[in-house]
Amino acid sequence: MQTIYILWLRQIKRYSRSRSRMIGALGQPLLFLVALGFGFGPIFEKAGGGNYIQFLAPGIIAMSILFTAIFSGMEIIWDRQFGFLKETLVAPVPRLHIMIGRTLGSASVAFLQGFVVFLISMLVGFRPEQWGLFPIALLVMFLIALIFTALGTAIASVMEDFHGFQLIINFLVMPLFFLSGSLFPLQGLPTAIDIIAKLDPLTYGIDALRGTLVGAAHFGLTLDLGILVVLVALLMIVGSWLFSRIEV
Amino acid sequence: MPDHTAQTSPIIDVQDLTRKFGDFTAVDHITFSVGAGEIFAFLGPNGAGKTTTIKMLTTLLHPTAGRIRINGYDPQHQQDAVRKSFGIVFQDPSTDDELTAWENLELHGVLYGVDKALRRQRMEQLLDIVELSDRRDDQVKHFSGGMKRRLEIARGLLHHPKILFLDEPTIGLDPQTRNHLWSYVAELNVQEGITVFLTTHYMEEADKMAKRIAVIDHGKIVALGSSAELKAQTNTQTLEEAFLALTGKGIREEEAGAIDNMRLHARAWRGKRR
């Protein structure tokens, strides 16, 4: 327990001390909200989709969680190269505890980042329609954070350095975001895109967020939550297995 | 035939230890032992297998073959017992730069299960000894190389290990800091009876510090004995001459690994963030 707590605390401290990173990571969601939200708003409304900001905001909140979570999960690569990972790996504690502590810490950071983006989205006009479900929306945000931190951990456990970083961004993170229904409704999509979207874990996270914040879940909240919980379990198992096999 | 066994009862006992990476044999059937309370040095050119051996002794790497006992335990199957037995100062810095000196020690103490009151007391003490008390609340990224090393030594001792591994601990340090560091290690060895296993390629350090020296080259121990024995064996005047006689004069290449590439990245990154 102590191990998990102290490693959780470390991630939080590192986050709170890098203000530039914190603020830098808010620029992109803000740009997306403003440019896409106001840019596509009129067309979206004419097509009968309603208020685009209301539709878009959950997608952008999830995006910022996705990015922060994957990158902080991948912080292991830094720690590996700059030695700190060795310090934790020679300590007389189970690697599982190390992995859980780190993952919870990074996921908390990603969750906080998502929450700040939620506040920003309120500034540009987003309004949750059912505050009663707000606690569940927060839970969904944390589940999204856990899924992608664990994924980042899994990737970082098998990557030696940052050479493959660009590959991960362009062929994993970006597709996860763009093909998740974050920017467009899932109704009436071409079959190929429909299938890909249904395979994308983020799709269910965003759908659950829409379900809780604006009451418009495509798959239904129960299915979304079920899939998210299963994914958390699955990726935590894979992540900790890969982490336990790291040799430095 | 050199004497491969320790005089006192061995706290590190290694037999036929081998590690292969693909076709390359980094460590090739080495056998040696280190007595409790001894200062023992591994001396070898770049890429000789020093760090690979330390990694295997400290549970970070699985051996391909051979047998290791650290404080009586097997690093492969009794990892936690082995891990509690030693403290280590790695070749590369391994502190968390974003945390303060105090927080780095605190984290270590918690990981090693040193309870709070005792932990705090030792942290104060050790920071005093390595002369970092006045900088305890500064983030480590503001420290010089020497200060980081001192902090790492303090950290390595926080859980009162029986063995201290020092993997080229003085690389990049100025002579004053090196001198200071070694006299502190020698003091620890005498006062606490702590066993010290060090690797270096500074001859004079091995000569001055170690009771016995193993010269390792191409993954094999080519000679083992006191500095005087090595000189006598090779008919030379200084340890450096003995070393060159044993390992030849060719220059060794070490592959630029991932770490070097990362350092470049890091520099570029830090530059951008500032």
Averaged over A239-243, what is the pLDDT?
Answer: 93
Max mean pLDDT among A71-80, A93-102, B163-172, B183-192 falls in: A93-102
A92 touches chain B (CB under 8 A): yes
Which strand ranges, in their side-by-side order, compose the sheet holding B39-43? B86-89, B163-167, B195-200, B39-43, B212-217, B220-225
Query: How far does A84 lie from chain B, in Å, by closest CA?
Result: 4
Distance (Å, whole) CA A215 – CA B76:
54
Q: Could you tell me what percentage of chain B is helix, strand and coil, using 3-state DSSP and rounding each to the nearest 5?
A: 45, 25, 35
Q: pLDDT digit string (tens) for A204-214?
A: 999 999 999 99
Kindly report the nearest CA distance between residue A113 and chain B, in angstroms.
19
Query: Given this model, what pLDDT does residue B1 score?
Result: 42
Q: What is the ipTM of this complex?
A: 0.88
- The answer to whether the Cβ–Cβ distance between A82 and B261 falls below 8 Å is no
Q: Is the pLDDT of residue A97 over 70?
A: yes
Q: Which of B59, B79, B92 sits opposite A83 (nearest CB)?
A: B92
Q: Which residue of B has its CA nearest to A82?
A: B94
CA distance A163 to chain B (A): 9
- Residue in chain B closest to A159 (alpha carbons) equals B258
| Residues facing B39 on adjacent strands | B196
Residues A67, A77: Cα–Cα separation, whole Å: 16
Q: What was the pLDDT predicted at B257?
A: 55
Range among A88-92, A141-145, B198-202 with highest mean pLDDT value: A141-145
CA distance A95 to chain B (A): 11
**A244 CB near a chain B CB, below 8 Å?**
no
Residue A161 pLDDT > 60, yes or no? yes
A88–chain B Cβ distance below 8 A for any pair: yes
Q: Where exactly are the structural domains of chain A? A: 2-244
- The domain defined by B10-96+161-273 folds into Rossmann fold (3.40.50)
**A205 vs A214: CA distance, rounded Å:** 14
For A84, the closest chain B residue by CA position comes to: B94
CA–CA dist B174, B205 (Å, integer): 13
Structure tokens at A28: 């992109």
DSSP output for A170-215: IIIIHHHHHTTTSSS-STT--HHHHHHHHH-HHHHHHHHHHHHHTS
pTM of the full structure = 0.86
In tens digits, chain B (274 residues) has pLDDT values of: 445 555 567 999 999 999 999 899 999 999 999 999 999 999 988 888 998 999 999 999 999 999 999 999 999 999 999 999 999 999 888 999 999 999 999 999 999 999 999 999 999 999 988 889 999 999 999 999 889 988 998 999 899 899 999 998 888 778 887 888 888 889 889 988 999 999 987 888 899 999 999 999 999 999 999 999 999 999 999 998 999 999 887 777 655 555 555 555 555 554 444 3
Backbone φ and ψ for B94, nearest 5 degrees, come out as: -135, 25
Residue with tokens 């050479």: A163
- For B79, which residue in chain A has the nearest alpha carbon? A92
Beta carbons within 8 Å of B18's beta carbon, 6+ residues apart: B25, B27, B28, B29, B30, B63, B64, B65, B66
What pLDDT, on a 0 to 100 scale, did the predictor assign at position A73?
84
Say which of B90, B98, B112 has its CB closest to residue A17. Answer: B98
- For residue A83, the SS3 value is coil
Q: Please indicate whether, in this complex, the C-beta atoms of B112 and A20 are within 8 angstroms of each other.
A: no
Considering only the beta carbons, identify the residue of B81, B139, B262 that sits closest to A81: B262
What is the predicted pLDDT for the residue at B2?
Answer: 47
pLDDT of residue B123: 96
Mean pLDDT value across chain A: 93
Percent of chain A with pLDDT over 90: 79
| 8 Å CB contact of A20 and B96 | no
User: Which pLDDT score, from 0 to 100, does residue B4 have?
Assistant: 54
Q: Between B84, B96, B106, which is nearest A92 by CB? A: B84
Whether A243 shows a pLDDT value over 80: the answer reads: yes
Please state, in angstroms and as integers, the Cα–Cα distance from residue B256 to each residue in A84, B216, B259, B262, following that order: 20, 21, 8, 11
Q: Flag whether residue A48 sits within 8 Å of chain B, measured between CB atoms.
A: no
pLDDT for position B274: 35
Give the separation between CA A4 and CA A2, rounded to whole angstroms: 5
The answer to whether B51 touches B242, Cβ cutoff 8 Å, is no
The residue to which tokens 């993952």 are assigned:
A103
- Distance of alpha carbon B268 from alpha carbon A69, whole angstroms: 23
